[in-house]
Amino acid sequence: MSPQPVAPSEVVDRLRAAGCVFAEDEARLLVTAAVTPADLERLVVQRTSGLPLEQVLGWVEFCGLRIIVKPRVFVPRRRTGLLVKRAAPLIRPGAVVVDLCCGTGAVGAVLLTGEPTLTLYAVDIDPSATACAKENIAPLGGTALTGDLFAPLPPGQLGRVDLVVANAPYVPTDAIARMPPEARLHEARVALDGGPDGLEVQRRLVAAAGDWLAPGGHLLVETSAGQAPHTAAIFARHGLTPRVVHSRKLDATVVTGTA
Ligand SMILES: C[S@@+](CC[C@H](N)C(=O)[O-])C[C@H]1O[C@@H](n2cnc3c(N)ncnc32)[C@H](O)[C@@H]1O
């Protein structure tokens, strides 16, 4: 027997009872997304069982774009808008840009939309992420590659990359247990875990960036306010003069460096 149609007020009540803070807004989005009452019931059950809203809907709005989100793939956060904001002015027509640890490819998609002449590579170690990134960036002309950090890039790009943007995992392993369940339970561990001090992936990517950056090329890495001095020290150790930029509005921190 198919489920009974669910009235929107009922949806709001069920979402609220499940602890959704913005129950009215979420109900509106779920009602709009559902094609049939059975569909709506399925979406409400998914959301009330704790799946992140964006994974239920299959999309998130990021810097004005609708980005496709797949199950287990990291949901782009609003704070990562700072990475985009700092990267965009550094990009020249025809530049080679790498969105490292790309997840859905949201950062690269926004940069490519702003400058369609880019050669954009989006790299992630998780094949689910690169499958999702491909859907977001291939229609814009970008390329999604699966592998560890810079390893899957074409060797011909060694020393020719103008800009690397990276929101690599930076949560210290022990802190994952204190993250909201939506992240902890529904995003891949590899998307969150930055090792004992949260800086392990950053260390490896900054160390490798020098081989790939063109002279004058830029590296931009999202980090936390508390970790920023350490991220900056890693940049300095590898010959990149660091600059820490913080946005209070977005609660976001980015370290930039030039080769
Ligand atoms: C915090 S998420 C950020 C995703 C995306 N950049 C964003 O801001 O929405 C980190 C991403 O890094 C990827 N990742 C982790 N270790 C990696 C590695 N060694 N090489 C490439 N990607 C990696 C994860 O699979 C995950 O998609």
Q: State how far the Cα of 149 lies from the Cα of 99, in Å rounded to an integer.
A: 10
Q: State how far the Cα of 12 lies from the Cα of 116, in Å rounded to an integer.
A: 41
Percentage of residues in the chain with pLDDT exceeding 90?
Answer: 95
* Residue 166 Cα: closest atom of ligand 1: 6
Confidence class for position 7, pLDDT limits 50, 70, 90: low
Q: Is the pLDDT of residue 5 over 90?
A: no
Residues having CB within 6 Å of any atom of ligand 1:
74, 76, 80, 101-104, 106-107, 123-126, 129, 148-149, 167-169, 188, 190-191, 201
Nearest C-alpha neighbor of 218 from the set 72, 88, 48, 118 = 88
The residue whose CA is least distant from atom 27 of ligand 1 is 103
> What's the pLDDT score for residue 6?
61
Q: CB of 136 within 8 A of CB of 105? A: yes
* Residue 151 Cα: closest atom of ligand 1: 20
Domains of the chain: 8-68 (no CATH), 78-258 (3.40.50.150)
Q: State how far the Cα of 223 lies from the Cα of 198, in Å rounded to an integer.
A: 9
155-173 pLDDT per residue, tens: 999 999 999 999 999 999 9
Helix (H, G, I), strand (E, B) or coil at 195: coil
Model confidence, pTM: 0.94
